[in-house]
Amino acid sequence: MKNAVFTVALAVALAGCGSGEHSPAPATPEPGPPRAAAPAKAEPSRQPVHHVNINPQPEPAAKAVQPIQHEPIMKPTKVAPAKIVKTEAEWRATLTPEEYRILRQKGTERAFTGKFDHHFKDGTYVCKACGTPLFLSETKYNSGCGWPAFYKSIDNTVDVTRDASLGMVRIEITCKKCNGHLGHIFDDGPNPTGLRYCVNSASMDFVPAEGKTAARKK
C-alpha cells in the first residue's frame, strides 16, 4: 500500500515538471543615471499697471509764496519833511551874508559870539533857512563849548554826514528839509543820549512857547 502511494506521488511530480516552462521572474531594470529634476516653470514677471487718466484735469497752479512782512523795529514819530530846492541866487536873496556863509557854505561862527549860546527860554529852535523845527528848549544845556548845545534833536528833522574837512573827521548835521549846514555832533554829551549837537546860532531862529517868555533854568 505504501509503495502504491509513493508511486502515485512520484508520477504527479514528474508530470508537473514536464508540463511547461516556469514563467520567468520579471527582470529588475538596471539602475541608470538619475533624472534631472524638471526645471520649475517660471512665472511671467508682473509689469506695473499704469492707470491712464482718460479725462486729465489741469493741475492747480502753485500759489505764490508771499514774503513775510516784518514790522519795522522803530517807527519814526514824524514824517520826513519834503525837500526844499532853491538856486544859490535864491538863497542869497533870503539869507544874510553870515547866514549864507554858514548854512550854504558850511562855515562856522566864532565861539561865544552866537546869540543863542546862553539862551535858555522855553520854546523851539527852528532852521533859519526854511523854518523846520529842529530842537526843543528842554534838550538844550550849557556845554561851555562856545556854541549852542543840545543832547537831542526833534525826530526825523536832522541828517548826519561824515565830514573830513580841515584835517579832521567829524559828523556834520544838516537840516533834513533844506540841507542847510547846522554844525556837528559829538559823543561827549549828557544823559540820556550822551550826544552833543553843537549848532551855530546863525543857522537857527527861535519860536517861544505860547505864554512862556521867562527864561528857564540852565
Instruction: Look up residue 147 and give its DSSP letter.
Output: S
Q: Which of 127, 175, 178, 198 is catalytic?
A: 198
Cα gap 187→32, rounded to integer Å = 114
Contact, 183 vs 127, CB < 8 A? no
Query: Which of 151, 187, 148 lies closest to 170 in space, CA to CA?
Result: 187
Query: Which of 183, 178, 119 lies closest to 153 in space, CA to CA?
Result: 183
Rounded to whole angstroms, what are the CA distances from 75 to 70, 83, 216?
12, 20, 32
Query: Which of 199, 206, 190 lies closest to 111 in space, CA to CA?
Result: 199
SS3 198: strand
Rounded to whole angstroms, what are the CA distances from 129 to 30, 92, 105, 119, 197?
132, 10, 13, 20, 18
198 is annotated as an active-site residue: yes
Contact, 126 vs 207, CB < 8 A? yes
Strand pairing report for 149-150 and 140-141: antiparallel
Q: Which residues are catalytic?
A: 198
